[in-house]
A and B are shown apart, each in its own frame.
Chain A
Amino acid sequence: MSDFPRWRYFLVAIVLVLGTLYALPNLYPPKPAVQVSASHSAPVDQALQQKIAATLQSAKIPFIDQSLKHDVSRGDYVLIGFANGDLQKSAADALKQALGDEYAEAFNLQSTVPAWLSAIGARPMPLGLDLQGGVRFLMAVDQNDVVDKQEIRYTQDITSLLKDKKISFISVARNATRGQGVNVVLGSAADRSAASDAIATEYTDLSVSDGANTGDRYVLNAVIKPNKLRDLATSAIRQNLATLSNRINALGVSEPVIQVQGEDHISVELAGVQDPAEAKKVIGATATLQYVAGIGDGRDPAVQDAVKTGNIPPDAHLYPGREGDPRGPYLVSKSVIASGDELVDASSGNDSQTGSPMVSVTLNSAGAAKMLDFTRDNVGKPMAVVYVERTTDTKVVDGKEVRTPKTTYTVINYASINGVFSNKFQTTGLGSNKEASELALLLRGGSLAAQMDIVQEGVIGPSMGQDNIDKGLKAVLLGLGLVLLAAAIYYKLFGLVADVALFFNLVILVAVMSMIGVTLTMPGIAGIVLTLGMAIDANVLICERVREELRNGSTPLAAIRAGYEKAWATILDANVTHLIAALALTTMGSGPIKGFGVTLLIGILTSMFTSVTVTHAITALIHGGRKLKTLSV
């Protein structure tokens, strides 16, 4: 047919083939699997694989042999597939006992998509928690806490600044109202202007203004600048996110989803975890830092002796280094110089003189004073940074879970003191920029920048997830089938053509969602069913137009042409307004509505293509180049 150019047939064919290919992986359901990874520096190798196989065989848990694999390209872990969730659970329990603390076992899913499909980048849609089971937390970051911490810190800092500069003052106190900064009361106008200058030059993030004078009380008000406050708020969220990621990684959950939601919320989704209590403990765990005097590292004969004999000097601790640290373990003093809550900031960078990687650390005034006292007497001696983590250990004893709180100490940095310093100092001697940024993250990640509150919590059982998948699939297939049947009955041949297009609409919709990586949820499935029900509208419009043209006396071919042409304007207008509605849905912050909106949005776009272009191509193929007396519509 002349009004359907050849290139468009190619376009339709290419899109249909690609759509089918990229939708295909969703037909391969992933298998339940257990992921074994090293929690410390334990090796992940052939020996581990054999040990796992032996453990499972002796426990008589059947596993899928070819899926026992260690694929370096995907990550440093071993993945074992099982036929069902029960086997997966008992295997994880068995492995936990056999492998001990050295390895972490987590529930995961193993893809069964054929290699040739994975090779072209085709992957299935990730399933949402409501389809997979798991735990979800939504946490609100307490912004007031951020302001509180900063204002308390500035109160201390200004006090010590004025003492340093020998400016006499009556009082330095935080304003009773949060966000109103620090009030400094001085004895004379001259002192006030001197203090004002000193504060303004030292702390550029504060805006300083004169307050009301009463008698000989001269008031100075220092407020944190609004843009700095905003920066602080966003960095607090970012820091909390990093801290959470660290802690959850320690939990051994495979592929946790941790993201910022809205302005000050963080959502955490842990697929496969069924016990929120354990997850909550880790999230709320208190990790902190300690700066202590170093006594010796692993190369020191005294330390080697202590390791061998177990005789540790009474004023010292023996702590291990980080995994893969050749210098560990370390002997450090028991008295703490400064601790994590006195740390204000840590950032990585390069030393301005040597260019070597370093981490610069800022302490608050209390920590600074102690650091100054210590470094004055100990230049050239080593200092260690100890990372203290409190976690809960779960062990299965006689079929019962026994939880024991556990505190682990790790020396994350050990270096010599090069000079006297107080609130700001640098740690150098790091191997690489990567190591520097990791150390900065650990230092910052030790504590939360602001308190967090769990404002939403949900547990979805795995059977509920499977149930949802079954029901969702049934609804999609039945919805599709019924609409296909109705269209074929009502519009005969044109209805069948629309049916083909509608089927491909589903295929392309699934393909696009898989390619973008949209997480499939129950509301998303509802969106798919709605899209299928509404996509037929374009065909109804076209068929009604064609019928109308036929009644007005057009020839069949002219009726098809005019039908498509006239219907197109209407379809476009109707779909643009519908797109506006779908767009608004996607901007809704929260999960379920967003999933629905995204599905609807993609569905409207794909349906415009399949309902108009694909049906036109098929209609043109059927009717083109033939003399027609009637149309089956």
Chain B
Amino acid sequence: MKHASLVVLALIPALFSGCKPAATTPAESGRLFGVSFQTMNNPFFVELNEGLKSVIAPRGDRLVTLDAQWNSLKQKNDVADLLQQRPAAVFINPVNWEGVKGTLIEARRKNVPVIIVDAPVSDPDLVLCQVASDNFEAGRLACEALARVNPNAKIVVLHLSVNRACIDRVEGFKAEMAKHPGMRILDIQEGKGSAEGARPVMRDLLGRFPELDAVFPINDPSALGAISAIEAAGRAGQVTVVTVDGSREGAAAVRAGKLHATVAQFPKEIGRIAAEKAYAHLEGKPVEKDIKVPVQLITRENVAAFLESR
């Protein structure tokens, strides 16, 4: 009896693949696009997704958004599911820049173009193009802004060293620092890229280094954590904070004078450009491999205009 039910089960797929045409909805209009984000628990990716949609939806095409929840295996499976549906193109924001390779090979085998958004991958040959903020330039601009007010800054860095974009920011920061011999990095610590993660680390660093007078937390959330630690230690106004992100909260802190500068990224723009490149490729036009979306330094002078434009 058990065998009977197993046989029935085995027959079900056969049965249904037999009547496939009947199951097909005749007027499935528009092409399918898919995007897989490393996480949707960050306004940055929500805005990036809106940017994609702003190009795809008006053309009557469909965008399926998937959240990998920081799980590269889930991302691999999600994209495999998409590829089975023969999408026109797939956008991937990789959890693991090495781990996405199998997915890219599979997409190539199925002839589906892949556009990488926000974070680079280790095999650029396997993708149509990569669209990301110019993170190196963002780090450089942050350092430049700091050098203008404090050319002899004693700096600590609150890193998120598992993240490729943050690695690039710190590299850009260091490259600019080389031009300012008076600047010195006292220490680089893991700030976990979040306010909760950065606050205690910053508090410890303030205790360890009385001469500390500047901090480069690699994004707005960790900058806000650092600021609250600085205020708690009674050193508000003595430590210059520069960062990268340009979120609403970060810009508000710039306006309030707590954050000296944040270098804004434009996630909506990244999404818009990525989607346009996909359509350009589908129309047979050539597409550049590596597209850096410009960043913008936000300080007290231009913060009002920036907040208005958002």
Note whether A and B form a binding pair.
Answer: no
